[in-house]
Amino acid sequence: MIRTHVLVCGGTGCMSSGSAKIREVLQSEIDKAGLTEEVKVVQTGCFGLCALGPVMIIYPEGTFYSRVTAEDVPEIVEEHLVKGRLVQRLVYNDTGEAKKPEGPVSLNETGFYKKQMRVALRNCGVIDPENIDEYIGRDGYSALEKVLTSMTPDDVIKVIGDSGLRGRGGAGFPTARKWQFAKNSVSDKKYVVCNADEGDPGAFMDRSVLEGDPHAVLEAMAIAGYAIGADEGYVYVRAEYPIAVKRLSIAIGQAREYGLLGKDIFGTGFNFDVSIRLGSGAFVCGEETALLTSIEGNRGEPRPRPPFPAVKGLFGQPTIINNVETLANVAQIINNGAEWFAQMGTEKSKGTKVFALGGKINHTGLVEIPMGTPLRTIIEEIGGGIPNGKKFKAAQTGGPSGGCIPASLIDTPVDYESLQSIGSMMGSGGLIVMDEDNCMVDIAKFFLEFTVDESCGKCTPCRIGTRRMLDILNRIVEGKGEEGDIEKLEALANDIKATALCGLGQTAPNPVLSTIRYFRDEYEAHIREKRCPAGKCKALARFTIDPEKCKGCSACSRKCPVNAISGVIKSPFVIDQDKCIKCGTCLETCKFGAISKK
C-alpha cells in the first residue's frame, strides 16, 4: 500500500527554481531508504505560492514545505518519511496572524489559501497532469459522459447559461450566448478553439491550468463541440510555454488512447478531436480574429467584426473561441449544476477568477478568489501585503489593456462591472501591485511601449496613434513635457479607442487614461515642475549632497563613473548637476546618508 504521497510542484515557477532535480533526488533517496513501495512521488501543476518555490506537500499529513532545495531532500526523507518528524525549518505555516503557530497547519488555514476558492485550479497542485487516471479519479470525463449520454446540446447550453459563466479572457462575454450563436449557425463543419495565447505581461493562469490540469480543458472542448455541433478543436498556445505544450500533447495522446477524443466517443456516435497550434508570441494573436487568421496559416492580423467568428470563423466556418480558464470551469458546472456555480460570486459576475499576483507584493503567485472579493483582501491578506513596509499605491488589472486601481479604491469588489466603472477591467487576470516607489507616468509608458511593440500595424489608429502617444510620454518623463500634453494624450486616446480595428488598439490607451484619471497630479508635476514625485524618472532625478552630513570621505567621488563629484577631503563634496548622469552609484556608496535623490 502506498501510505504517503509526496507532491512536488512541476509548474513553470518551481521548475525554474529546480523542482525537477528535487524530484529526482527525492525518488533516489526514497529508493535508498527502502520506501519505494510505501511512498509515491507525484509531479503536479502549480500550487500557486510561486514566491516560496520550490514547494512540496506531503500527504496524508498535509505538511507543506517551501523553498526546498535538493540538499534538503535527504533530510526530508530521513526525518519525515522514515521517522515521521517534521523538518521544522522548511514548514510553511504563515496563517497571516501576528503569531505563527508552533506546528504545521493545513494548507487551507494559511493566510495565502484561506480566502481562496479553487474551481478552475481545483486539480492544480493535486493531481499528476501527465496521468489521465488521476484526472479520472477526480471525476474527470464524467461531465463528458453525462453530456453525451443524457443531455441534448440545448440542455448543455442552458446549464452553462444558467450558471452565469462569462469569458475569463477579459471581455466577460457570456459563454452560453457565444455557444448559442455558433449552434444556430447552419454548417456541416464547425470548430471549437481554445485561446491559450496568454500575452498579458505578468499573467500566467492559463499556462498553469494547461500545465496542471490539461484534461479539464480537453474535456470542456469536447463538451463545447457537442453543444454547438463541432467535431474538431484547436488549442492555440504559445511556443514559449514548453511545459504546457508538452503536457497538453501527452494529455491529448492519452485521451485518444482511452477513446475520450476521436471517433464515436462512448459509442454515442459523437466525434471530436483536438490538435495543437503553436503561436510565436505575438500579443495580437490573443485577439480572436487574429488568432483564427494565425491558425489558418496566415500572418496573425485581426479582421473586422462582424461577421463574428460564431457565424464565420476558422476557415470561414462557425467557430467558438474560449479562453483556457473559462473552459476549466465547464466540466465542473455540468457535474455540480448551474446553481452550484451561480451561488459563488456576485449578481452579474458568477464563480471565481484566477489572478496572477505580481509586482510589489509578498506572495507573488497564483490565486483564485470568488468574484466580488475586495481588492484589499487580495492584496493585504492573500498577497501578504507590500514588502519592506512600503505603502500600497495602485494595482494594475488587465495588463496593457486595463487600468490602474488607486489606493483610495482598494475596497472595490473585484468583478466585471465594478472594475469597469472605475476605468479598469477584469482582463485575463494579471494583477500587478505598485508601491510608493512606482511612478505612474512611467507605468503608463511601460504598458504603452508594450502595445506599440505588439501592434500588428494593420490599422492606422493603432500603428501611428499609439506611437504618437508614446512620443508624448517619453517627452514628459525626460522633463520636456509641455502645457497641453495631458489634453493631447486624452484626445488621441479617445480617437484610438473609437477607431482601432481590434481589441488591442481599442484598449491600448487605457493605462494612460486611467493613470491620468487617478494620478493627474503626477503628470502635472513632471510637466510643470520637472519633478518625478516617486523619484523613478531618471532624467528628472536630482542628486544632492547634504553639507551637514557629508564627512568629506571622497568615497562617492571615487565611485562616480563620470567624475561629477568633487571636493576637498574632510570638507563637504558637491555634485556637478551638468555632468551627473543620475546613475545613483553615489547614493548607494555613501555610508552617512548624506546624499539624497529628489
- Chain contacts with other proteins (rule: CB under 8 A): 1-5, 7, 37-38, 59-62, 82-85, 106, 126-127, 133-134, 136-142, 145, 149, 258-260, 262, 266-267
324-336 vs 153-163: helix axis angle to the nearest 10? Answer: 100
517, β-bridge pairs: none
Identity of residue 58: I
**C-beta of 229: minimal distance to other proteins in Å?**
22
CA-based nearest residue to 206, from 180, 170, 178: 170
**C-beta of 377: minimal distance to other proteins in Å?**
25
Compute CA distances 421 → 413, 492, 518, whole Å.
11, 21, 13
Residue 482: how many CB atoms within 10 A of its CB?
A: 12
**C-beta of 54: minimal distance to other proteins in Å?**
18
Q: Rounded to whole angstroms, how far apart are CA atoms 499 and 238? A: 28
**C-beta of 66: minimal distance to other proteins in Å?**
18
Find out whether 322 and 194 touch, Cβ atoms under 8 Å. Answer: yes
Whose Cβ is closer to other proteins: residue 259's or residue 593's? Answer: 259
**C-beta of 319: minimal distance to other proteins in Å?**
28
User: 3-state DSSP call for residue 30?
Assistant: helix
Which residue reads 499576483 in cell numbers? 357
**C-beta of 44: minimal distance to other proteins in Å?**
9
Whose Cβ is closer to other proteins: residue 60's or residue 304's? Answer: 60
Whose Cβ is closer to other proteins: residue 62's or residue 387's? Answer: 62
Whose Cβ is closer to other proteins: residue 3's or residue 520's? Answer: 3
Identity of residue 448: L
Residue 363 grid coordinates:
506572495
Number of helical (H) and strand (E) elements in the chain, helices listed first:
23, 18
**C-beta of 269: minimal distance to other proteins in Å?**
14
**C-beta of 261: minimal distance to other proteins in Å?**
11
Whose Cβ is closer to other proteins: residue 61's or residue 339's? Answer: 61
64, β-bridge pairs: 57
CA-based nearest residue to 92, from 53, 131, 123, 128: 53
Which one-letter DSSP state was computed for residue 350?
A: B
Whose Cβ is closer to other proteins: residue 58's or residue 527's? Answer: 58
Whose Cβ is closer to other proteins: residue 9's or residue 456's? Answer: 9
CA dihedral sign of residues 177, 202, 112, 251: positive
Whose Cβ is closer to other proteins: residue 95's or residue 377's? Answer: 95
